[in-house]
Amino acid sequence: MNDVHIRAEVEVKLTEDLEKVKQTIRNMIQNPTIETVQREGRCFLAAEAKGRDGLSKLYNLVRQERIRDASRKVLFQGLRGNTITIFLNKQVAFVGHVSFCKPVAESPLGPIKIEITCEDPRALIDWLTPSSTERAASE
Strands (E), the chain: 5-12, 33-39, 42-50, 79-80, 83-89, 111-117
The answer as to whether 137 is a domain residue is no
Range of the domain at 9: 5-132
The CATH number covering residue 26 comes to 3.30.1440.10
Q: What is the pLDDT of residue 137?
A: 46
Contact partners, residue 6, CB within 8 Å, separation at least 6: 29, 32, 47, 48, 49, 50, 54, 55, 114, 115, 116
Q: What is the pLDDT of residue 61?
A: 95
Q: What is the pLDDT of residue 105?
A: 75
**Residues with pLDDT less than 70, the chain:** 1-2, 133-139
The answer as to whether 55 is a domain residue is yes
User: What digits encode the pLDDT tens for the residues 97-127?
Assistant: 999 999 887 777 899 999 999 999 999 999 9
Contact partners, residue 69, CB within 8 Å, separation at least 6: 129, 131, 132
The answer as to whether 138 is a domain residue is no
The answer as to whether 139 is a domain residue is no
What's the domain count of the chain? 1
Q: What are the distances in angstroms from CA 129 to CA 23, 125, 126?
A: 24, 6, 5
Q: What is the pLDDT of residue 135?
A: 47
Strand partners, 48: 7, 33
> Is the pTM for the entire model greater than 0.75?
yes
